[in-house]
Amino acid sequence: MKNKILVYGAGAIGRGYIPWIFPSDRYELSFVENNSELRGLLQKQKEFTTYRTKSGQYVKLICEFKDCFDLGEEDPTDYDGIITAVGARQVYALIDSLSNVDCPIVLFENDSKIPLELSELTGKSNIYFGVPDVITSNTAPAEMLEQDPLSIVTEDGVCFVEDGAVDLGGDISYVSQEELSKQWTAKLYLHNTPHCIAAYLGAMHGKTYLHESMARDSIYSIVEGAMNEMSRTLIQLFDLDKEFVEWYSKKELARFSNVLLYDPVLRVAREPFRKLGLHDRLIGAAQLSLSVGVMPNNLTLGIMSAFLYDEEHDEDFHIKILMNSLEKEKFLKLIINVNPHEALYKLLVKKWDESIDTLKGI
């Protein structure tokens, strides 16, 4: 009998990557998806196609699944394992659904604090953090979409999960908390930080996909510079092995430029306020760099490009409006919550006009 896995979120990770680590010939997948249009198409087709990039080509997988529910229609107690991939803001809507579940629950939510917070809110000790070291698009090339409108593209990545969830199974590397912390630190600052910078810079120049952004030499240079700043910071601050950091950085620059991935700029750039959190991938990253004496010149350009993000359909679309409506000092203090006594605040104010001019010229 196949183990039954319930996946909250049928987007990029949920539909693109999870079928590769829980293949339908060994596991019975079901989804919970709140997008009614996507849910309706999934319910109609009962299968979809995910493509994995490997050795410069696509490998095709047709994923058959059992059900696709609207939130509240599912019975989460009827499954052997649960995965969430709904987004760091949206996951808290699942508290009631997860409160009575005893099987392993793994969160792929790009925020290591969330599992502990959800454990406290639900009173459950079976909630674990996962780090899918992979880029997964939420779309596919036009010719693939013509064959299957649910087609999606992912990388051939590696998934790390706390070893307490080992009963979940799947093609996953179950590791100690120490190893998971290492992998998460690398992903947060050597993947998430330059990844979103590439997206914000691409958005400024009307690019649709991340590989189009990275094909522009001036953008590549800033992204690579931000990567180097974070590499030097992590080696000093977290005592990460230099060879590991260099390998990871080189891998990231190659994957950002992968022309097979069709990774949308809008997907990577979404919700800039979250990415500008005091301990997150932009403001937090620059603060860490300054703390060890690494000048975050390229990170500062990345932060400014996030301030300038101008996508009217984004949940945080008003960020540029606020930036243009307030003096820079008030914007940084009141909106971004950077303390005026901090070095980063003074650096951003000092380089404000220069950074904008630089970004206009890239």
Question: What domains sit in the chain, N to C, each tagged with a CATH number?
Answer: 3-175 (3.40.50.720), 180-361 (1.10.1040.10)
Return the sign of the alpha-carbon dihedral for residues 213, 219, 224, 230. Answer: negative
Q: Is 191 helix (H, G, I), strand (E, B) or coil?
A: helix
- Residue 24's pLDDT is 87
CA distance 36 to 21: 26
Rounded Cα distance, 178 and 129, in Å: 12
Q: What is the pLDDT of residues 52-92, one digit of tens each?
A: 999 999 999 999 999 999 999 999 999 999 999 999 889 99
Q: Is the pLDDT of residue 6 over 90?
A: yes
H or E stretch at 43:
helix 36-45
Please provide residue 63's backbone torsions phi and psi, each rounded to the nearest 5 degrees: -100, 115
Confidence of residue 127 (pLDDT cuts 50, 70, 90): very high
pLDDT(239) > 90: no
Helix or strand (DSSP H, E) at 233: helix 217-237
Closest CA to 168 of 44, 291, 4: 4
In the block, residue with structure tokens 């974070």? 230
- How does pLDDT run across 191-203, given as a tens digit for each residue? 999 999 999 999 9
Distances (CA, A) of 100 to 8, 103, 124, 126: 16, 10, 8, 11
Tens digit of each residue's pLDDT (9 = 90 or more) over 252-304: 999 999 999 999 999 999 999 999 999 999 999 999 999 999 999 999 999 99
> Which backbone phi and psi does 107 adopt, to 5 degrees?
-105, 120
3-state secondary structure of 280: coil
Residues 143 and 116: beta-carbon distance below 8 Å: no
Strands (E), the chain: 3-8, 27-32, 47-54, 57-64, 68-69, 81-84, 105-107, 127-133, 152-155, 158-162, 173-175
pLDDT at 159 exceeding the cut of 90: yes
Calpha distance 46→63 (Å, rounded): 9
Does the pLDDT at position 1 exceed 90?
A: no
Position 75 scores a pLDDT of 97
Please tell me the pTM assigned to this model.
0.92
74 and 81 Cβ atoms separated by less than 8 Å: no
Average pLDDT value for residue range 319-323: 95
Nearest CA to 41 out of 149, 154, 145, 136 is that of 149
